Amino acid sequence: MSGNRRLFEDGLHLLHEAHRQGAAQAARNYKTSTLPKLKQMLEAGSKQNIVQQKRLDEVFELISIRPDPKQDPAMQGICDLNEAEIAKHRSAADRDLINIEYGQVAAHFYIARYGTLRSAAHALGHAKAAKLLDRTLVETRAIDQAF
């Protein structure tokens, strides 16, 4: 297997698990948020992570590999920092702002990861997989704008 193909597959495995991690963090942030619109976004974000993870399953099928989820250390770092900041602040307004901030940090993480993997899919000749990855990239940019 070429180095590019291995990096592409490794990125997909990490991203698959990052969606589980992100969904769990969005659910935790829902509990610490007070703004109704933010709570709605976090609830929708948790569900969207699962939808996007299932879309990745389609990518795996298209390129004929099985998901091998590996905890994504970058996403785990985002989640850990989010939790640490929430633990430091008692004010509801502060917690809402922290949850907005880390929602955007997570969205930017996904934008970077999806953009890279979409480009890799194109370079490796996986046009259908690239199209699915691009779909999630477009959705994630909209989420970033909403935050």
**pLDDT tens track for 54-113:** 999 999 999 999 999 889 999 999 999 999 999 999 999 999 999 999 999 999 999 999
Q: Which residues of 86-107 are buried (b: 16+ CB within 10 A; e: fewer)?
A: beeeeeeeebbbbbbebbebbb
Structure confidence by residue, pLDDT tens digits, 14-59 = 999 999 999 999 999 999 999 999 999 999 988 999 999 999 999 9
Q: In the numeric block, which tokens belong to residue 120? A: 């890799």
Sequence-separated (6 or more) residues with CB below 8 Å from residue 54: none
Structure tokens at 25: 């963090």
Q: Do residues 95 and 34 touch, judged by C-beta distance below 8 A? A: yes
- pTM listed for this prediction: 0.92
Q: Helix, strand or coil for residue 85?
A: helix
Q: Where are the alpha helices (DSSP H) in the chain?
A: 3-32, 36-62, 73-88, 92-123, 127-146
Evaluate whether 20 touches 49 at the Cβ level (below 8 Å): yes
**What is the C-alpha separation between 144 and 36, in angstroms, rounded?**
18
